[in-house]
Structure 1
Amino acid sequence: MAIQQECARRIRRLQTELEKRDLDGALFAYPIDIYYFSGTRPNALLWIPTAGDPVLLVRKSLSRALAESAVADVRTFPPSRELPSVLGAARRVGLTFDVLPVQQLHFLNKVLPGCDFVDISALNRELRSIKSAWEMEKMKESAARLCAVFARIPEFLRPDMRELDLSAEIEYRARKQGCEGYVRLRAFNQELFRGIAASGESAARSGFFDGPATGSGLSSAAAHGASTAPIARNAPILVDYTGVFEGYIVDMTRMFVFGELHPEMRKAFDVALEIQDYLTENLRPGQDCAELFAGAVALAEAAGLGNHFMGAPGEQAKFVGHGVGLELDELPILAQGFQVPLQLGQTVAVEPKFAFPGKGVIGIENTFAVGPEGGTRLTRLADDLIQI
């Protein structure tokens, strides 16, 4: 019953916004959007009219969709010629252009020639960014389970073990906790396998991933995450992992070292904590995301670490925090140029980090909920640098 009420609330919010935009409805093809509004994840199309009841058109699996769907009207996907009858008199229809392949758009233009398709990507992402009390409980549970895994890392972290072995130990325990592992990313050409366990030079190796740390990975075809390199003494060990439980993602990073960090690295860690404190205090409704990023950059520059902030010099990520929920890259983004105010109930992974080519990556990351007095931390595990 809870998921049915939750999805009904989401659908009503969407319908209100569609009406404001003079749209007749929205058609969703992207699986996680369908899940958000229907509570099930089939291969399907979901039609949500501005007025009236939604219809879920399922290619596979119809039986599972019938059992799980919070949408009452679940049907077998019809022949193409019958699709117009589902939409009825609808003419202005919203689509999520940010994730819809051109081939699928051509298909819809062909089978629904009377429809004018309008991009509702921004609307959809904004609606999804604001978490309900029901969703917040899911994210708190995800955070608790991920923290339980991180808390055990000192039990199995050993000198000279390979990055790959460390990652396998973390992933094994996360899986035993119920981690689903589907780290969904909306951005084109981005992909991620669970997270990063990397140290020293290997952690600081740049790659395709749009973040401050990539890791060397296992090959050029999988250029992200742990490598087979051994973990060296006195090198920063970065453990940056997602937890995905019942679809909801949280993100966190903790630092470890065998021995002592170089003073430059220790300073960078302390500055990362200072930046996190500044952002936490300002994760309040109405605060401008671009201004928060600029404030974080100013703190890094004041410490003499601006060239290393959020990536290797010349290859720095232009954000310091990203929305999380059913996807890892939701709104809001604490980023350069993202001049958008925060809203109550948004959830943000704050990750101030510093990259030193040839030496390592160091920083911190926690997931927060935007609140009236600042950010409420969901990943409630001490930030301490763990020396072993």
Structure 2
Amino acid sequence: MNAPRSEHLRANDASPEAVRIRQHRIERLRAELRKRDYAAGLFCDPVNIRYATGSRNMQVWCQRNPARYVFVATDGPTIMFEFSGCEHLTHGLETIQETRVATGWFYFTAGPRVSERVARWARELSDLLDTYGAGNRNLAVDRTNPEGYAALTALGIKIQDGQEVAERARAIKSPDEISSMRAAIVGCERSLLGVQQALQPGITENQLLAILSEGNLAGGGEYLETRLLTAGPRTNPWYQESGDHAVANGDLLAVDTDMIGESGFFTDMSRTFLCGDKKPTAEQRELYSLAYEQIQTNMALLKPGVSFREFSAASWFMPSRFAGNRYMSLIHGTGLSNEYPYVPYAEDFDAKGYDGIIEENMTLCVESYIGHNTGKEGVKLEEIVLVTANGPVPLTSYPFDAQLLA
């Protein structure tokens, strides 16, 4: 595998590729705002802030503390409201025309003064709409606490769904984004290789998770969104978090990377390995072969113009003995995080799904989890795929386990 570009598209990168990516993203955001006749967007989610501006700051902490936000006028400037003392972090970003100090009104910093501070926050945003909205009071907001909603609406602002705007913008990737995503995947696969090489009887799940995280950080990545790395009986059912369980000889180890890697790209791939020198059991081979078959079958269906409902209906049929443990989705988007679209199984579509169209230059994760309804182990596999005019192109290349496929 090629070495990851540890400095590739680092924060405030001024390379031509980075500038093109930022330009593509802000143009897509504004196109979505304009399509809905919104005067501006207010983005508080750190992933959406990064998409709009290319800036990052305390990404994990800001997911629960709305300490920074960005105002994107549909026809006007992008104004970044940065956490106090951090204004220097936006220097050099051509996407940002002005940086101001954010008004923090979350309880940790505002305490009993929340109402006072949220009123100041809302007035400043209302003034910006007066200046750049040309009488349009539609403001797309991706998230806000109840006090924020009340303060904005009290000033005559019509709150619209900003997350829809961001998700639809993020769904289509530029050639430069795809190139950068490939680089991030190389780093993820290198980290995964470290896990596979360290896998031996007696090592714990947490020790292996630490290796995955260390590889990501050392290669220029950022953090893991989940702890989905489990072994043996803890692989079934899925969604058990990594712990101090020791992996035994002959156990399956299932890993879902859920990695925010280089340049903030969400490198979401899954592999399952066999630990030790025991030969795989017939049951383990069946689980793995079915998961592999599901991935390959569903991946072949990914073509521009296919509707989500059509894809779901035509997807690989899961035998009933495994259906009770089926995964939450067949495919989902990926970019800077889990993204639009989300397509569930056919039997779940009416209750959980929504329709739409698979489009060229979407990047999608093709998912499989196979675990018997009453079984001991399960297999998790997942590929990242680019949708092209000629069909699907896998972006992940980490090898599947030949002995489990035998």
* In 2, Cα distance between equivalents of 1:103 and 1:8: 33
2:73 match = 49
Deviation at 1:297, TM superposition (A): 4.7
Q: In the alignment, does 2:370 pair up with 1:354?
A: yes
Identity of aligned residues (%): 22
When normalised by structure 2's length, the TM-score is: 0.78
Q: In the alignment, does 2:80 pair up with 1:70?
A: no
* In 1, Cα distance between equivalents of 2:403 and 2:264: 30
* In 1, Cα distance between equivalents of 2:92 and 2:126: 26
CA displacement, residues 112-161 of structure 1 (integer Å, 9 cap, x when unaligned): x0211222432321111111112111210111111122234443211132
User: What one-letter code is carried by the residue in structure 2 that aligns with 1:40?
Assistant: S
- How has the CA–CA distance of structure 1 residues 230 and 10 changed in structure 2, closer, same or farther, with 3 Å as cutoff? closer
User: What one-letter code is carried by the residue in structure 1 that aligns with 2:331?
Assistant: G
Q: In the alignment, does 2:379 pair up with 1:370?
A: no
In structure 1, which of residues 81, 94, 103 is the aligned counterpart of residue 139 of structure 2? 94
Deviation at 1:40, TM superposition (A): 1.0
2:253 match = 237
1:6 match = 21
| Poorly superposed stretches of 4+, deviation over 6 Å | none
Whether the 8 Å contact between 1:256 and 1:385 is mirrored in structure 2 is no
3-state SS of 1:383 partner: coil
Moved more, 15-24 or 318-327: 15-24
Higher share in helix: 2
- How has the CA–CA distance of structure 1 residues 386 and 155 changed in structure 2, closer, same or farther, with 3 Å as cutoff? farther
When normalised by structure 1's length, the TM-score is: 0.81
In structure 1, which of residues 259, 267, 270 is the aligned counterpart of residue 286 of structure 2? 267
* In 2, Cα distance between equivalents of 1:104 and 1:44: 14
In structure 2, which of residues 219, 222, 225 is the aligned counterpart of residue 177 of structure 1? 219
Deviation at 1:182, TM superposition (A): 5.1
* In 2, Cα distance between equivalents of 1:288 and 1:83: 39
In structure 2, which of residues 177, 180, 184 is the aligned counterpart of residue 135 of structure 1? 177
3-state SS of 1:319 partner: coil
* In 1, Cα distance between equivalents of 2:150 and 2:94: 28
Whether the 8 Å contact between 1:159 and 1:232 is mirrored in structure 2 is yes
- How has the CA–CA distance of structure 1 residues 45 and 273 changed in structure 2, closer, same or farther, with 3 Å as cutoff? same
- How has the CA–CA distance of structure 1 residues 232 and 168 changed in structure 2, closer, same or farther, with 3 Å as cutoff? same
Whether the 8 Å contact between 1:92 and 1:118 is mirrored in structure 2 is no
- How has the CA–CA distance of structure 1 residues 291 and 278 changed in structure 2, closer, same or farther, with 3 Å as cutoff? same
2:33 match = 18
Q: How many residues align?
A: 348
* In 2, Cα distance between equivalents of 1:64 and 1:286: 41
Q: In the alignment, does 2:359 pair up with 1:343?
A: yes
1:188 match = none
2:10 match = none
User: What one-letter code is carried by the residue in structure 2 that aligns with 1:74?
Assistant: T
3-state SS of 1:27 partner: strand
User: What one-letter code is carried by the residue in structure 2 that aligns with 1:100?
Assistant: T
Whether the 8 Å contact between 1:4 and 1:39 is mirrored in structure 2 is no
3-state SS of 1:323 partner: strand
3-state SS of 1:364 partner: strand
CA displacement, residues 286-330 of structure 1 (integer Å, 9 cap, x when unaligned): 1222333333352x22xxxx3424xxx2x5434122211111x20
- How has the CA–CA distance of structure 1 residues 124 and 170 changed in structure 2, closer, same or farther, with 3 Å as cutoff? closer
Deviation at 1:197, TM superposition (A): 2.3
Segments of 5+ residues of structure 1 without an aligned counterpart are 184-191, 206-212, 216-223
* In 2, Cα distance between equivalents of 1:153 and 1:68: 36
- How has the CA–CA distance of structure 1 residues 350 and 75 changed in structure 2, closer, same or farther, with 3 Å as cutoff? same
1:334 match = 343
User: What one-letter code is carried by the residue in structure 1 that aligns with 2:156?
Assistant: G
User: What one-letter code is carried by the residue in structure 2 that aligns with 1:231?
Assistant: V
* In 2, Cα distance between equivalents of 1:174 and 1:19: 38
Deviation at 1:236, TM superposition (A): 1.8
CA displacement, residues 201-254 of structure 1 (integer Å, 9 cap, x when unaligned): 11214xxxxxxx212xxxxxxxx2x22222123332212213322100111222
CA displacement, residues 85-137 of structure 1 (integer Å, 9 cap, x when unaligned): 2222533323245x433233234334xx0211222432321111111112111
- How has the CA–CA distance of structure 1 residues 228 and 333 changed in structure 2, closer, same or farther, with 3 Å as cutoff? same
Q: In the alignment, does 2:334 pair up with 1:324?
A: yes
Segments of 5+ residues of structure 2 without an aligned counterpart are 1-13, 58-66, 104-119
3-state SS of 1:351 partner: strand
Map 1:212-251 to 2 at 5 A: 213-215=238-240, 224=241, 226-243=242-259, 244-251=261-268
